[in-house]
Chains A and B, each alone.
Chain A
Amino acid sequence: INAEYGLLNFAQTKNKMFGSDILPYTPIDQIPDIVQSLKQTFKTGKTRSESFRRHQLHRLLDLLNDNSQEIHTATKKDLGKPAFESDLGEILGIRNDISRALDDLSCWMAPKNEGKGFAMITDQVQVIYEPLGVVLIIGAWNYPIQLILQPLIGAIAAGNCAVIKPSEVSAHTAFWLTQTLPKYLDPDCYRVINGAVDETTALLQNRFDHILYTGNSTVGRIVMRAAAEHLTPVTLEMGGKSPTIVDASADIRITARRIVWGKFLNAGQTCIAPDYILVHSQVHDELIDEIRKAINDFYGPDVLNSPHYSRIVSQRQFERLKALIDKATTQESESKIVCGGESDSSQKYIAPTIIDNCSPESPLMSSEIFGPILPVLRINNIDQAISFINDREKPLAIYLFSRTSSVIERIKSETTSGALLVNDTLLHAVVQDLPFGGVGESGMGAYHGQRSFEVFSHKKAYMRRSFFLSQLDTLRFPPYSNSNLKWLFAIFERTYSSNKLTRIVREFLALFIFLTSFILNFVLKKFA
């Protein structure tokens, strides 16, 4: 049911809710030509030089600096985003990544020397990072700027050309991006394509050298199948139900405030938002109280008129979320709305809603909520939480609130998720050096910071030998002889001993050999 974020499903394209009055779609017959023209540009080697990459990154930074007002307006129109959330959630991450890329680009681009055995001391052994070619970045509507531009930084830094496909659901932002990007970035190398299912299908028929898709797992499968035809590697950034565990040892007031912030930022339309709470029965009542207080503190008693609270992106999403609330209250006797529940269809507004005592079988628990509804489930011990999480698909994030290190250690080693954040929500996505990506149903591959550069680069193994001492080649050439084999044994075969002392002695020997070969290398290079 939440197929919509990323790509619209087929039913909706028929009536094209956003029509072409806001966002004109790219004509399908032009798409192959656009991709082809980028391939031509890549072949000329234009995007490879460091100065070009630097210049484009600087231009991207200029784009953000010059247009903060426009970004606020566009995201406000699409999602009712407060300017603060827009600055924090959309722009901050991109700016940091650009600054990082500009500062470290030469270091990232430099070939890395690799360890080599004794037998190859005169050789040069390196890993070279080279651009892949033309890459495709498909964004989602919930953070329409960040999910496009942050991967784009990696693509530019790695020296690729890129096709950008913003989500058609966040039409205002997509339109703004289409208008603005060519003014800043080189239009020969980076192009924006707009459209819904038909356009995206046409786009995916072209051969790309990498595809980065942010969205849901249904469309993720479609993208990966399409990529299989061209053997294109993919990075899939998907969502999933990210559990939030509240242990009895946590500071409940701070916990409640941090959860409420993470959940209701962008009205819950965040892929790493806490999806449901597993709370220890001991602190359950206190947590519910504190959550209510936090909502009141943050958005005031009248959330509808709070300027700090976003709206649902589309009528379709609004209906889906409204139905979830209705089902949760009518079908089950146990669960009840303890906070919120109100909605306003004309504004696509849904109040921050807490549903207490939600049953694991409830529709709320069957798929990612992706809206401002927060179900609360009780647990009696940490084992229950672990088995509850492990019975379900691997989530993009797990949030744990606890002061007990044994509990932290158990969650750390016994559950799997894209990320594990202890005692806060969302903030791991801000730390550039942490890989941002999922596992299992929540996706594959990760980016942010230097990883974005690596995602869009190929690590080429580079080895350079000389003809010096080529007489020794006979050792490995036919006709093979047993004595040669013995030489090979002695030079190349590594041995391992489970005895620690032997290993330490060997380490020293290896160090000695390394130093000797290092000196020999210098000596030999004089003659080679």
Chain B
Amino acid sequence: GINAEYGVSQKPNHHNHLHPKTKSSRMPSFESLRETPIDEIPQIVYNLHQVFNSNKTKPEEFRRAQLEKLLDLIENSREDIYQALAEDLRRPSFESYAGDYLAVKNDVVEALENLHHWMAPKCVAKPLPNLTDKAQVIREPLGVVLIMGAWNFPFMETLKPLVGAIAAGNCAVIKPSELAVSSSNLIARLVSQYLDDSCFQVVTGGVEETTTLLKQKFDHIMYTGNSQVGRIIMRAAAENLTPVTLELGGKSPTVVDSNVDIIASARRIVWGRFFNAGQVCVAPDYVLCLESIHDQLVAEMKKAIIEFYGSDPSISPHYSRIINQRHFQRLKAILNADSSDDDAKKQPADVIVCGGEMDEDTLYIAPTIIDQATLDSPSMNEEIFGPVLPIISVASISEAIDVIRSRPKPLALYVFSNDAGVVERFKIETSSGGLVVNDTLLHAGIQSFPFGGVGESGFGAYSGRTSFETFSHAKSFLQRSFAGSALDFLRFPPFNESKLGWYKYAAERTLVGKWGQILRKVGWWTSIGIATWAVVHLIHRRGGCGGCVGFGWLKGCPGRSLIGFSSAPSATTPVLNK
């Protein structure tokens, strides 16, 4: 596969891909990648296991202190992060703010505010025989976890999972992508500067370093990248029975219905597609639009591109560049193939209606829209992961659904529609990591959302509390006492029929059905009502609320005699009767 590179490069000699950058004029402060020596890696991981076994990372105070340090890290180095991303991707600081800085910072704050609550054991419901027992779910750390980030959001993809890893009490190895060189170096420097380096280590490097790293035993691996490397990681993890979370990409479809606000839709799609020059795993990958609004949509998209990036995006400070030469060539190949009409397959000619310009020296590809694309177009073969947006006309919503369902499950699905019926159909009939109606990308910014894919787009999720859960083990805890042991004989041999009957009676849950449930609820609320009523009566009778006029109406209540309260005058009642 050609986009195998994001995450871990598959070619052993990754220096070649980095090389062209040195010549590029856009990188005045080019740094070379600092790599961890391969023979040190086993020792690093071993040391972390030792530290974890010493219980250092488990106390709440330690986790809190490290999270506060992480907060300092992100707050103090905002400008450095902007700078590193500008060097790696020439990304505008606004996008670095929203995509990397904000995502990490809000997650740290969320963790700091809720850590105590997350860590607390949760009591669960118990069946009758266990009524006197204590049943809890305890969240405990897993051990040493590995976090492997991709290059498109190098800080978010490493530090945001790290928040969960720290909050859950783990030690962690962070492996930033070697393709975002400046970011990788900065992450290595910042983590060792701010966090406890006996518990959190950054390993940098390419394929060899990663391969060595994957041979070590971890207690969880979280990988962000592509599905080919995802497979390699899961195979490696299988050797040590290590659970994995795979955050992969995929071709996220965008469907535009005919009844929408076309201008707003076009702007939202263009923003989502060309954010970070399309190098976003949840970016809208292709558009399926109804024929009736096709022309208007394309026109509005063109307008939006000019409005956003000006008539010449190459001089706009708000538009990013492609990460490296290899990805540039991959995208170039897609564009060239898509625009040639003497293709061997004799497809209908795809039309580049906007953009298409590129500059190899600065790794620039203009925001490009390919109109009249078909499902067989080269741009529809695999995730584009660049500033190219194919548009396919469909005759109906059903056709759009068929297209989506005939392909691997995507990480995100964007639907623009004002028709509740259409939205409902997508909700039920399609499967994707996330489903966003009438906007793009924004779900990734909501912390309470589990962020993750399904099928080819990955499994497992993180963000906010979900990260904490991903990096912790839910231990069942049941504490019994010796007090109820007289009943033990019911489950001990020698067995007989009457024992079984008793045990079943106590332990077997019977089906109550809909009416049973309603009755249960009615019973529950009635008993609460009766209890409240009784309490009110008691207070009333004891005269504890003698001065309280609110209970005056109770004095003539016929129920009092029914539940056994004497209506005979006592020392206190005359006061009330006045």
Contacts and interface: CB of A to CB of B under 8 A. Distances in A.
Contacts of A416: 140, 473, 475
A421 B98 contact: no
Contacts of B124: 431, 433-434
Contact of A431 (B105, B126, B260): B126
Contacts of A459: 450, 452, 461
Contacts of B451: 461
A127 B434 CA distance: 9
B137 A494 contact: no
B112 A462 contact: no
A212 interface: no
B435 A460 contact: yes
29 contacts: A84-B499, A87-B500, A87-B504, A88-B503, A102-B511, A125-B446, A221-B239, A224-B234, A225-B238, A228-B234, A251-B485, A297-B492, A422-B480, A424-B480, A427-B480, A430-B507, A431-B478, A432-B125, A434-B476, A460-B433, A461-B435, A461-B443, A463-B439, A478-B271, A478-B308, A478-B318, A480-B93, A496-B112, A503-B113
A7 B135 CA distance: 34
B354 to A, nearest CB: 16
Interface in A444-460: 444-446, 458-460
B510 interface: yes
B491 interface: yes
B110 A494 contact: yes
B10 interface: no
Q: Which of A227, A306, A420, A445 counts the most chain B CB atoms within 10 A?
A: A420
User: Does more than half of chain A's interface fall in helix, strand or loop, or is it mixed?
Assistant: mixed
B437 A488 contact: no
A461 B494 contact: no
Interface in A234-283: 236, 238, 250-251, 254-255, 257-258, 261
Contact of A224 (B241, B246, B492): B241
A435 B476 contact: yes
Interface stretch (B25-33, B334-342, B422-430): B422-430
The 7 A-B residue pairs with the shortest CB-CB distance in the complex, in nearest-first order: A84-B495, A480-B94, A228-B234, A433-B124, A224-B238, A419-B476, A308-B493
Contact of A228 (B98, B231, B432, B496): B231
B481 interface: yes
Interface stretch (A109-117, A138-146, A329-337, A373-381): A109-117
Interface residues of A, number: 115
Contacts of A82: 493, 495
A431 B130 contact: yes
Contacts of B510: 99
A205 to B, nearest CB: 14
B71 A460 contact: no
Given A225-B235, A233-B460, A466-B438, A477 B241 contact: no
B241 A221 contact: yes
A229 interface: yes
Interface string B87-110: 000001111011000100110111
Interface string B311-340: 000001111000000000000000000000
Contacts of A465: 436-439, 442
A123 to B, nearest CB: 8
B474 interface: yes
A413 to B, nearest CB: 7
A443 B242 CA distance: 9
Nearest to A298: B493
A220 interface: yes
B142 interface: yes
Contacts of A431: 124, 126-127, 130, 135, 476, 478
A192 to B, nearest CB: 25
B208 interface: no
A496 B74 CA distance: 13
A291 interface: no
A261 B475 contact: no
A440 B496 CA distance: 39
Nearest to B423: A464
A484 to B, nearest CB: 7
A485 B96 CA distance: 11
A34 interface: no
A298 B478 contact: no
Interface of A: 43, 45, 48, 61, 82-85, 87-88, 92, 95-96, 98-100, 102-103, 114-117, 120, 125, 127-128, 130, 132-133, 209, 217, 220-221, 224-225, 227-229, 231, 233, 236, 238, 250-251, 254-255, 257-258, 261, 297-300, 306, 308-309, 390, 403, 408, 412-414, 416-424, 427-428, 430-437, 439-441, 443-446, 458-467, 470, 473, 476-480, 484-485, 488, 492-496, 498, 503
B56 interface: no
Contact of B500 (A84, A231, A308): A84
Contacts of A485: 93-94, 97
Nearest to B235: A228
Contacts of B481: 423
Interface stretch (B261-269, B294-302, B535-543): B261-269
A438 to B, nearest CB: 9
A88 B506 CA distance: 12
B538 to A, nearest CB: 34
A216 to B, nearest CB: 11
Nearest to B233: A228
Given A257-B492, A496-B112, A236 B241 contact: yes
B449 A127 contact: yes
Contacts of B533: none
B238 A420 contact: no
Contacts of B503: 88
Contacts of B492: 257, 261, 297-298
Given A125-B448, A255-B482, A416-B140, 12 more contacts: A84-B495, A92-B507, A127-B449, A261-B491, A432-B127, A433-B135, A462-B436, A464-B438, A467-B265, A492-B102, A494-B110, A495-B109
Given A463-B436, A476-B98, A496-B113, A413 B58 contact: yes
B138 interface: yes
A439 B142 contact: yes
B227 interface: yes
Interface string B508-532: 1111110011000000000000000
A17 to B, nearest CB: 28
A264 to B, nearest CB: 8
Interface in B250-306: 260-261, 264-265, 267-268, 271
Nearest to A125: B446
B113 A231 contact: no
B267 A422 contact: no
Contact of A477 (B106, B243, B308, B475): B308
A494 B106 contact: yes
A309 B488 CA distance: 18
B364 to A, nearest CB: 16
Nearest to A489: B97
B485 A480 contact: no
Contacts of B499: 84
Contacts of B102: 488, 492-493
Contacts of A231: 227, 230-231, 234, 246, 248, 455-456, 458-459
A446 B474 contact: yes
Contacts of A476: 98, 271
A479 B478 contact: no
Nearest to A297: B492
Contacts of B264: 467, 470, 473
A460 B437 contact: no
A487 to B, nearest CB: 11
A430 B129 CA distance: 10
A488 B130 contact: no
Tell me which of A434, A435, A503 has the highest count of chain B C-beta atoms within 10 A of its own C-beta.
A434
B86 interface: no
Contacts of A297: 492
B174 to A, nearest CB: 22
Interface in B45-96: 53, 55, 58, 68, 71, 92-95
